């Protein structure tokens, strides 16, 4: 069994969907598995020139690959079924390809209503926190117990270990949210209620030695949506928001902007053990013409895109690992 993992190194919205989409094109995956989160996520994917925003469903569905919502996820059934319908309407055979693990948990309408009252964390109000609370409090309901999900349910154990349809299983794990929102490593309590690191992917039933590549995804500047103050004082952030279209894919909220925090990037790179790094949205700072990053208490000023790229790459090589291959990418650039 082989597994590649895509993991976000900042606060979500770094372009995991784009990377996962590119990887599906280049590899022979048998499965794409979403490993954490619920419909709080919004993955923007451009497929054959068309824009799709998915919340639950992994991107393997665009390539005819079996796509599973794993046991680490929580599912809101109506949202899930609506997404299936929308994809089917666009000619994508989601009904055939998409599956939900028996032991994923449900987000109920009660969870949603409760989360809808949140004012302190700035959640997406999709019921994520209450659903995970009930799962860990042993009061949750598993996906296998909802009759509406019956046609989609599969056992991860059978699928990965006792399925004669596959000689070699090759998985792409697609995460949701990001390191800065991880319930343990993020800025608690301004976090989501699931784990957003590589460890989280393994909890979905795959042995650690199956891991081949770990693709860390970041942006050249940072964004965050939620209740805490995050945006820096630079007036250029308003322009970055506009040029980078930094509005939530799920809620439409304006994302707060700040310069890249190198220390966070380094920590996320170390803890996730990445060996590939994609830094997205280079085109946005190209357009703005400013290149900055935080390093400890300092703001670094770079003269050009090339200078900033060189600094990040060298620093990660020196302080994290020589084996990280870094790609800098803009909207129209391919990795």
Instruction: Give the interface with Mg ion as residue ranges (CB under 5 A).
Output: 13, 42, 249
Active-site annotation holds for 13: yes
Looking at the DSSP bridge assignments, the partners of residue 211 are 3
User: Does residue 292 have an active-site annotation?
Assistant: no
Which C-beta is closer to Mg ion: that of 42 or that of 130? 42
Output the residue with the shortest Cβ distance to ligand IMP. Answer: 226
CB atoms within 10 A of CB 261: 18
Measured from the CB of residue 73, what is the shortest distance to ligand IMP in angstroms?
12
9-18 CB burial, b ≥16 within 10 A, e <16: bbbbbbbbbb
Name which of ligand IMP, Mg ion, none residue 272 binds, using a CB cut-off of 5 to 8 Å depending on partner kind. none
Q: Which of Mg ion, ligand IMP, none has residue 193 at its interface (CB below 5 to 8 Å by kind)?
A: ligand IMP
CB closer to ligand IMP out of 66 and 135: 135
- Provide the minimum distance between the beta carbon of 83 and Mg ion in the complex, in angstroms, as a whole number: 15
- 176 vs 240 by CB, closer to ligand IMP: 176
Nearer to Mg ion, 13 or 182 (CB): 13
Catalytically annotated residue among 4, 8, 13, 261: 13
Q: How far is the CB of 130 from ligand IMP (least distance, A)?
A: 9
177 binds, among Mg ion, ligand IMP, none (CB under 5 to 8 A by kind): ligand IMP
Q: Residue 204 or 223: which CB sits closer to ligand IMP?
A: 223
HEC string for the chain: CEEEEEEECCCCCCCHHHHHHHHHHHCCCCEEEECCECCCCCEEEEECCEEEEECCCCHHHHHCCEEEECCCEEECHHHHHHHHHHHHHCCCCHHHHEEEECCCEECCHHHHHHHCCCCCCCCCCCCHHHHHHHHHCCCCCEHHHCHHHHHHEECHHHHHHCCCCCCCCEEEEECCCCHHHCCCCCCCCCCCCCCCCHHHHHCCCCCHHHEEEEEEEEECEEEECCCCCCCCCCCHHHHHHHHCCCECCCCCCECEEEEEEHHHHHHHHHHHCCCEEEEECHHHHHHHCCEEEEECCEEEEECCHHHHHHHHHHHHHHHCCCCCEEEECCCCCCC
| Beta carbon of residue 56, minimum distance to ligand IMP (angstroms, whole number) | 12
Instruction: Name the minimum Å distance from CB 187 to ligand IMP.
Output: 10
Residue 205 interaction partner, one of Mg ion, ligand IMP, none, beta carbon < 5-8 Å per kind = none
Interface contacts to ligand IMP, rule CB under 6 A = 11-13, 40-42, 121-124, 126, 128-129, 176-177, 181, 190, 192-193, 225-226
Catalytic residue among 21, 31, 43, 111: 43
Is 25:233 a contact under the CB 8 Å cutoff? no
Find the shortest distance in angstroms from Cβ 126 to ligand IMP: 5
Q: Among residues 12 and 70, whose Cβ is nearest to Mg ion?
A: 12
**Active site residue ranges:** 13, 43
């Amino acid at each position: 069994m082989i597994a590649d993992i895509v993991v976000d190194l900042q606060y979500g919205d770094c372009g995991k969907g784009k990377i996962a989409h590119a990887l599906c094109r280049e590899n022979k995956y048998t499965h794409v598995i979403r490993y954490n989160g619920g419909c709080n996520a919004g993955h923007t994917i451009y497929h054959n020139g068309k824009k799709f925003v998915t919340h639950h469903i992994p991107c393997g569905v665009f390539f005819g690959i079996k796509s599973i919502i794993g046991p680490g996820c929580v599912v809101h059934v109506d949202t899930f079924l609506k997404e299936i319908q929308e994809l089917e309407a666009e000619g994508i055979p989601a009904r055939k390809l998409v599956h939900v693990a028996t032991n994923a948990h449900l987000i109920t309408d009660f969870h949603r209503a409760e989360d809808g009252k949140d004012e302190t964390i700035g959640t997406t109000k999709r019921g994520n926190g209450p659903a995970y609370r009930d799962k860990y409090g042993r009061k949750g309901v598993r996906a296998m117990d909802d009759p509406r999900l019956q046609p989609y349910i599969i056992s991860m154990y059978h699928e990965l270990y006792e399925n004669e349809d596959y000689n070699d299983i090759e998985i792409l794990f697609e995460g949701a949210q990001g390191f800065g929102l991880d319930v343990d490593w993020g800025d608690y309590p301004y976090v989501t209620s699931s784990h957003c690191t590589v460890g989280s992917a393994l909890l979905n039933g795959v042995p650690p030695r199956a891991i081949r590549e770990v693709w860390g995804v970041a942006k050249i500047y940072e964004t965050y949506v939620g209740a805490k103050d995050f945006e820096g004082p630079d007036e250029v952030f308003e322009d970055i928001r506009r040029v980078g279209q930094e509005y939530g894919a799920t809620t439409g909220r304006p994302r707060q902007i700040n310069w890249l925090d190198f220390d966070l990037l380094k920590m996320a790179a170390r803890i996730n053990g990445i060996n590939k790094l994609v830094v997205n949205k280079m085109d946005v700072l190209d357009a703005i013409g400013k290149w900055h990053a935080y390093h400890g208490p300092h703001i670094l000023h770079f003269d050009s895109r090339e200078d900033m790229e060189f600094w990040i790459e060298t620093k990660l090589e020196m302080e994290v690992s020589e084996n990280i291959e870094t790609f800098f990418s803009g909207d129209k650039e391919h990795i």
